[in-house]
A and B are shown apart, each in its own frame.
Chain A
Amino acid sequence: MRAGALSAGISNIGTWVRPAVKEHKPLDEVRPRTSGWNEDAFARQQIGNLVRQAFFSAGNAVRHVVFSGVELDSDVNEICCGVGQALASERPGSVLVVVRDAIGQNGTDTNSGIGLRNRANRVERNLWRLAVPSMPSRSEIDLDGLRTFMAEVRREFEYSVVADCAGGWMRRASLAELADGMVLVLSALRTRRASARKLLEELSHVRLLGTVLQDRVFPIPEGIYQRL
């Protein structure tokens, strides 16, 4: 529901959180029910579930995941950072989080000659963060560069969470194919259904590990919402 769509007196009447699902079952989104709901804890719980379902549900087959939004200006850096952090806390292996720097427009800087570990910032014991410039949406796809970059990421890190910038679907497809899978990031009340469906159809050959719905709001309790 759109934030603020209700009149005063009905919004934020209380939220509650269902305990996290530990068996990697499909995530049941729960709606707030009572007061005392901790949004941050809920979010971290969701991130934890995401990590388990995306990386560990298929054994060890998935280690390098691309997070991609639908809109041209969608920002998935924060999610990637959260996932990377959760992943690093779950596993002892090295984790690289590749985020997009919107300011730089110089393309994927993969051939700088410096090792990734040296270029990346070490955030935690086993967590590195690398900011790469965003690629203009109309720029040509540098497949070789992407391939080299991903090969280096695989070589130097055990896990990687790559934030894909918005671009043409071909570019996304290329990056997702080089990774082990892709997680599509949707924005509640913003991402159009038709756009997401179209993107998925175009990326049908890519392994989709799941979707993330961000920017959720819970203005109306479940009971009233369902009745309406």
Chain B
Amino acid sequence: MWSSLIVLAAAVLYAAVGTSYEANMKILVRRGRAEAPVSGGTTAPLDLTRIAITDEELNSEVELLRDRDVLRKVVEETGAGGRDWFHFARLGEGPAQRVERATRRLAQRVNVEPLKKTNLIAIRYKARDPESAERVLTSLAAAYVEKHTLVHRPPGESRFFEQQMTEARAELEQAQKQLLRFSASHGSISASLQRDLALQKLSEIDASQRQAGVDLVETQTRIAALRSLLTILPARATTQVRSADNPELLKALKASLLELELKRTQLLTKFEPRHRLVQEVDRQIEQSKAAVEQESLHPLRDETSDQNAHFEWAQSELEKASVQASALQARQTAARQQAIAYQNVAAQLGQDAIIQEQLLGNEKASLENYLRYVKKQEEARLNDALDEQGIVNVAVAEWPVVPALPVLSVPMVLALGLLGAAATGTGAAFVADYIDPAFRDAEDVRTYLNAPVVASLPRSARGRLTA
């Protein structure tokens, strides 16, 4: 009964003096401006892979709302947190300690909770005074946004990039000076190009030299062939060969033959063929015939010779080839010397090209670096400007308003108190009854003592058992 009365009294007291008002606020965390991180590339890639706010981001914002610095600021602005029951025992405390205690109390009273499956954070705060509840949350919102901006964009970023830009510009100028100095000292604007040209020239000269060598070999071979040909060719060659027979002789022979044949005939008229005179004439005829035949077969040759044109040609060619061979030799020698010269030039230009390329690379890298920092500095400047305007990735979706109604109405508190008192009393009674070592009822006696209960007399009948 006493516990019930205490609970009921507490409910009545709470209804009378402890009515609280609750103010609510909601903060939306959204995907903010795409902030390009500092990277080696000229254009830092934007992270577009994440579409939703992660739990880590949401919880980070929740922790920022619970941050002691933020709450301390709210306490200093609004005086929230109040005093606890033992404030009278700490009269000697300084303002810092009081603020710290108030901050701790405020931290316990402010309820910050992310709403599931949303990007919202709900903040609730109860106070005795409705205006105070609204004021605290409004101050909390302002302090939180400021803290959020400070945390996500630390100050000095623009200055940092500007400083880096200056250093990069100095490096760029240095690299350019080096390049110019090199070009002036080595007399080459583009050593690589010149090297390439020299190499090309060298290649041509080499080709020419080779060609000269080939030609020389050819010429020498030609010379050898011509010499051997000259040994073969006669100096004079029969230009004309006339083969004519001796007509006079042939005529005479034929006349003689005719005479002989006439003589034979005449003899035959007189003699037999076997006659000596006939045979002699036959023999003479035979001889004449043989002479005629031989004269016919071996006419008279009349050969006319002149200088052999081939020989002369060969001679001429030989001379020409000899001259050509000399020229080719000279050309080959000259080409060789030229090739050596160009080789040296190309080697030198090659080294120059390497150095120049290195210097060009440095200059290019310095330029890229410089341009990157220029871009970053501009981005940082833009972001600072946006931050100053309060354009951040969090927004107060629901501003706190002065609550018109308390969290629990007085009748509700009293009803809850009554219910609590009933439950407490019943529970306490039950516990007391349970732990009571005394007998409660007849069943208890029968169970514990195993003895029959012959009478169960109510307390209220005391003094009235007898008539």
- What residues on A are CB-neighbors of B433 within 8 Å? 1-2, 5
- Answer yes or no: B1 CB below 8 A from chain A CBs: yes
- What residues on A are CB-neighbors of B421 within 8 Å? 7
- Answer yes or no: B443 CB below 8 A from chain A CBs: yes
B466 near A39 (CB under 8 angstroms)? Answer: no
- What residues on A are CB-neighbors of B438 within 8 Å? 187-193
Closest to A217 in B: B459
- 1/0 per residue, CB under 8 A from A, across B426-467: the answer is 101110110011111111111011011111111111111111
> Please, how many angstroms separate the alpha-carbon atoms of A9 and B441 in the complex?
23
- What residues on A are CB-neighbors of B443 within 8 Å? 29
- What residues on A are CB-neighbors of B459 within 8 Å? 3, 188, 214-217
- What residues on A are CB-neighbors of B458 within 8 Å? 39, 42-43, 215-218
**Which bracket fits the contact residues of A?**
35 or more
> Please, how many angstroms separate the alpha-carbon atoms of A211 and B456 in the complex?
9
> Please, how many angstroms separate the alpha-carbon atoms of A28 and B197 in the complex?
128
B462 near A49 (CB under 8 angstroms)? Answer: no
A200 near B449 (CB under 8 angstroms)? Answer: yes
- Answer yes or no: A10 CB below 8 A from chain B CBs: yes
A78 near B439 (CB under 8 angstroms)? Answer: no
Closest to A45 in B: B455
Interchain nearest-CB distance for B192 vs A (Å): 101
> Please, how many angstroms separate the alpha-carbon atoms of A200 and B439 in the complex?
15
Provided the pairs A27-B442, A47-B455, A196-B439 are in contact, do residues A7 and B465 lie with their beta carbons within 8 angstroms?
A: no
- What residues on B are CB-neighbors of A81 within 8 Å? 465-466
- Interface residue from B424, B437, B460, B465 paired with A194 (Cβ < 8 Å): B437
**Which bracket fits the contact residues of B?**
35 or more
> Please, how many angstroms separate the alpha-carbon atoms of A123 and B418 in the complex?
53
Which residues between 32 and 46 of chain A lie within 8 Å of chain B, taking CB atoms? 39-40, 42-44, 46
Interchain nearest-CB distance for B447 vs A (Å): 9
- Answer yes or no: B425 CB below 8 A from chain A CBs: yes
> Please, how many angstroms separate the alpha-carbon atoms of A50 and B4 in the complex?
38
- Interface residue from B5, B440, B453 paired with A210 (Cβ < 8 Å): B453
Provided the pairs A4-B1, A9-B422 are in contact, do residues A78 and B454 lie with their beta carbons within 8 angstroms?
A: no
A5 near B437 (CB under 8 angstroms)? Answer: no
Which residues between 147 and 206 of chain A lie within 8 Å of chain B, taking CB atoms? 183-184, 186-194, 196-197, 200
- What residues on B are CB-neighbors of A96 within 8 Å? none
A5 near B432 (CB under 8 angstroms)? Answer: yes
Closest to B429 in A: A5
- Interface residue from A28, A184, A197, A228 paired with B430 (Cβ < 8 Å): A228
- What residues on B are CB-neighbors of A214 within 8 Å? 455-457, 459, 462
A1 near B445 (CB under 8 angstroms)? Answer: no
- Interface residue from A6, A39, A200, A210 paired with B4 (Cβ < 8 Å): A6
Interchain nearest-CB distance for A212 vs B (Å): 5
B440 near A29 (CB under 8 angstroms)? Answer: no
- What residues on B are CB-neighbors of A9 within 8 Å? 422
A200 near B451 (CB under 8 angstroms)? Answer: yes
Q: How many pairs, one residue from A and one from B, have CB atoms within 8 Å of each other in the complex?
A: 173
- Answer yes or no: B8 CB below 8 A from chain A CBs: yes
- Answer yes or no: A208 CB below 8 A from chain B CBs: yes
- What residues on A are CB-neighbors of B457 within 8 Å? 43, 46-47, 79, 212-216
B461 near A40 (CB under 8 angstroms)? Answer: yes
Interchain nearest-CB distance for A62 vs B (Å): 12
A189 near B440 (CB under 8 angstroms)? Answer: yes
> Please, how many angstroms separate the alpha-carbon atoms of A219 and B421 in the complex?
17
- What residues on B are CB-neighbors of A50 within 8 Å? 454-455
- What residues on B are CB-neighbors of A58 within 8 Å? none
- Answer yes or no: A66 CB below 8 A from chain B CBs: no
Closest to A5 in B: B429
> Please, how many angstroms separate the alpha-carbon atoms of A49 and B1 in the complex?
34
- Answer yes or no: A53 CB below 8 A from chain B CBs: yes
- Interface residue from A27, A191, A217 paired with B452 (Cβ < 8 Å): A27
Provided the pairs A9-B422, A47-B465, A79-B465 are in contact, do residues A186 and B454 lie with their beta carbons within 8 angstroms?
A: no
B439 near A191 (CB under 8 angstroms)? Answer: yes
Provided the pairs A6-B4, A7-B8 are in contact, do residues A49 and B439 lie with their beta carbons within 8 angstroms?
A: no
Interchain nearest-CB distance for A105 vs B (Å): 25
- Interface residue from A10, A28, A44 paired with B426 (Cβ < 8 Å): A10
> Please, how many angstroms separate the alpha-carbon atoms of A81 and B463 in the complex?
10
A–B complex contacts, Cβ < 8 Å, 17 sampled = A7-B5, A8-B1, A29-B453, A29-B456, A46-B455, A47-B457, A49-B455, A78-B465, A82-B466, A186-B439, A193-B439, A196-B439, A196-B448, A209-B454, A210-B452, A211-B453, A215-B462
Besides the known contacts A78-B466, A196-B449, A217-B460, 18 further A-B residue pairs in the complex with CB atoms under 8 A apart:
A3-B459, A7-B8, A7-B421, A39-B460, A47-B465, A53-B454, A78-B463, A81-B465, A188-B441, A192-B437, A211-B445, A212-B455, A212-B456, A213-B439, A214-B455, A214-B457, A214-B462, A217-B458
